[in-house]
Amino acid sequence: MQGKKGVNQDAMIVWENFCSRDDTIFCGVFDGHGPYGHLVAKRVRDLLPVKLGADMGTDKGRETPASNMEGNTNEVGLPVNPERKETTTSVAAEQDREYPEIFTTFRTSFLRAFHIMDRDLKLHKNIDCFFSGTTAVAVLKQGHNLIIGNLGDSRAILGTRNEDGQLIAVQLTVDLKPNIPSEAQRIRQRRGRIFALPEEPEVARVWLPKYNSPGLAMARAFGDFCLKEYGLISMPEVSCHRVTEKDEFIVLATDGVWDVLSNTEVVSIISRATSRASAARFLVESANRAWRTSCPTEHWSICRCG
């Protein structure tokens, strides 16, 4: 969705036969923000899957254990955040034990690819990422294994059947916003400030220590280098899911959808579609109608769906 900003800052990708494997597909949704957010989102869309695929194809990427992502730096030069243990969910730890080889291997590749992507953005000469950035929610499906990497407040949900055969929504990611206690603790420990504007009391935002700028509504993102010293990080939360016969579809979308439609509403909308193209169209149209209802004085237009 896009409003008065005018420029569509969203980007998406569906890459079948990823890494030249018939059983592998990569999907990603990226929501840019800031003056050059549209350029950042497109850059990440174009290069993140390439970097992930390159790491998956190297022995070094496969042999580096995920535990090496913690500490000050590891042997591959990745910065490690001391708060990683606090922000990693118990679900991820459980998945480590359940899928020790698959999950640990792919999580390492996701962490490395996201780190290298952010580093490359910082060095890019033609895109100013100081006050611009993007979220990212990416899903890699290989066989029956789903690996989900999430950065920011875009979201992935699963449409699946419960024991009674009813179609339900299962959220696969956490919206990584500044109001999450562990995220807020990290930001404040690094002197970043968190507060909401009077006109949006429900939206916590991240600000520089001495200036009321930029007011970022997420706790993790690519780019936004003005805040990287003050608690904003580009390390994704990575989780996995084993696909079963009860699972029917996955939806990746930006907050333009989730701000106005619930997970249950999205699953209901998708279930009525007869094809992937019509499912995406129905969802965008429903979100557009919801935005017009909630903000009747705003000018909203439909962005692309795929």
The rounded percent of the chain whose pLDDT value lies above 90 is: 75
* pLDDT digit string, tens, across residues 198-224: 999 999 999 999 999 999 999 999 999
Burial class (CB in 10 A: 0-12, 13-18, 19+), 60: exposed
Q: Check whether 94 has a pLDDT greater than 80.
A: no
Most confident of 85-94, 106-115, 269-278: 106-115
Which residue type, as a one-letter code, is found at position 288?
N
Tokens of residue 55, six digits: 């790491």
DSSP at 233: B
Instruction: Quickly state the pLDDT bin for 293 (edges 50, 70, 90).
Output: confident
Spatial distance between the Cα atoms of 118 and 2, rounded to a whole number of angstroms: 25
* pLDDT digit string, tens, across residues 100-145: 578 899 999 999 999 999 999 999 999 999 999 999 999 999 999 9
Q: How many CA atoms lie within 13 A of 279 on its CB side?
A: 19
* pLDDT digit string, tens, across residues 58-69: 744 444 444 444
* Mean pLDDT along residues 172-196: 98
Q: Note the CATH architecture for domain 10-294.
A: 4-Layer Sandwich (3.60)
Kindly give, in sequence order, each residue whose CB lies less than 8 Å from that of residue 61, ignoring residues fewer than 6 positions away. Answer: 55, 108, 109, 112
Picking from 238, 57, 278, 40, the residue whose alpha carbon sits closest to that of residue 149 is: 238
Q: What is the pTM of this model?
A: 0.83
Strands 237-242 and 145-151: antiparallel
- Helix or strand or coil: residue 52? helix
- Helix or strand or coil: residue 30? strand
What DSSP element (H or E) covers 31?
strand 24-33
- Burial state string for 293-302 with b = 16 or more CB within 10 A and e = fewer than 16: eeeeeeebee
Task: Count Cβ atoms below 10 Å from residue 3 Cβ, excluding itself.
Answer: 12
Picking from 150, 157, 139, 154, the residue whose alpha carbon sits closest to that of residue 263 is: 157
Spatial distance between the Cα atoms of 12 and 223, rounded to a whole number of angstroms: 17
pLDDT of residue 142: 95
Tokens of residue 285, six digits: 């149209």
Task: Count Cβ atoms below 10 Å from residue 61 Cβ, excluding itself.
Answer: 18
Spatial distance between the Cα atoms of 243 and 300, rounded to a whole number of angstroms: 36
